């Protein structure tokens, strides 16, 4: 881990690609692509990760999963909303295994919103959660099924993921802030 002032690089490009390959294998193990696997990237953070996972799953199995993107703004319970593109869900999720994909799992509130959005779309056979980084500090009882890396953090820190839709040297995960600072 490289440190500069209050910025620590946790994971670099090569390790991120290895994590994505491992996650793709884990997702594929119980789920056959032909049985209706759907990857839904949560808009902004989970989009590039979902694209990369879909590419890796196709490389491993020879078949691409259905790939879509989820805008959860309508389902949030806080005032944090950004202009996001609409959801793109190319299939009916009913009866399918849906893997919700996001970059960082923190309090669980984003994923609760994503679960509400998915169940409004239909009744999946199962909903799973895949995250690149699980930083702990949950406020809701939500746990990932597939996790790239568990990185316990403090409330005074922020995890920032820079991830391109295709492997890039600029891909990295950094921790910003002071773990001993008051999260004001």
Is pLDDT above 60 for 2? no
Q: pLDDT band at 178, cuts 50/70/90?
A: confident
On average, the pLDDT of the chain sits at 91
- C-alpha separations of 12 from 15, 62, 161, 163 in Å: 6, 27, 10, 10
Does the domain at 13-156 match CATH 3.40.50.2020? Answer given as yes
Which residues make Cβ contacts (< 8 Å) with residue 72, sequence separation at least 6? 42, 43, 110, 113, 114, 116, 117
pLDDT, position 127 = 96
Residue 1 clears pLDDT 60, i.e. is over it: no
Mean pLDDT of 145-164: 96
| Predicted pLDDT of residue 180 | 66
The mean pLDDT of 25-48, rounded to a whole number, is 88
For the cut 80, the answer to whether the pLDDT of residue 25 exceeds it is yes
Q: Which range, of 81-90, 100-109, 163-172, averages the lowest pLDDT?
A: 81-90
Answer yes or no: is pLDDT of 4 > 60.
no
pLDDT value for 76:
82
Closest CA to 132 of 85, 178, 100: 100
The arithmetic mean of pLDDT across residues 167-173, rounded, is: 97
- Mean pLDDT across the stretch 47-53? 98
Four-CA torsion 25, 30, 31, 32, nearest 10 degrees: 90
Determine contact, residues 172/13, Cβ cutoff 8 Å: yes
Comparison of pLDDT for 17 and 180, the residue scoring more: 17
If you average pLDDT over residues 94-117, what whole number do you get?
96
């Amino acid at each position: 881990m490289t440190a500069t002032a209050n910025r620590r690089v946790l994971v670099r490009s090569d390790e991120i690609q290895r994590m994505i390959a491992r996650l793709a294998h884990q997702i594929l193990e119980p789920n056959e692509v032909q049985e209706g696997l759907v990857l839904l990237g949560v808009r902004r953070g989970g989009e590039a990760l979902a694209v990369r996972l879909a590419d890796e799953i196709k490389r491993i199995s020879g078949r691409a999963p259905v790939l879509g993107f989820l805008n959860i703004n309508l389902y949030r319970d806080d005032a944090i909303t950004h202009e996001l593109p609409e959801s793109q869900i190319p299939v009916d999720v009913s009866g399918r295994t849906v893997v919700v994909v996001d970059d960082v799992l923190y309090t669980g509130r984003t994923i609760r919103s994503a679960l509400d959005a998915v169940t409004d779309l239909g009744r999946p056979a199962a909903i799973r959660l895949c995250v690149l980084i699980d930083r702990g500090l949950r406020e809701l009882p939500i746990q990932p099924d597939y996790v790239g890396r568990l990185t316990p953090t403090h409330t005074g820190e922020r995890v920032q993921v820079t991830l391109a839709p295709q492997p890039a040297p600029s891909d990295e995960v950094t921790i910003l802030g002071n773990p001993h600072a008051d999260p004001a």
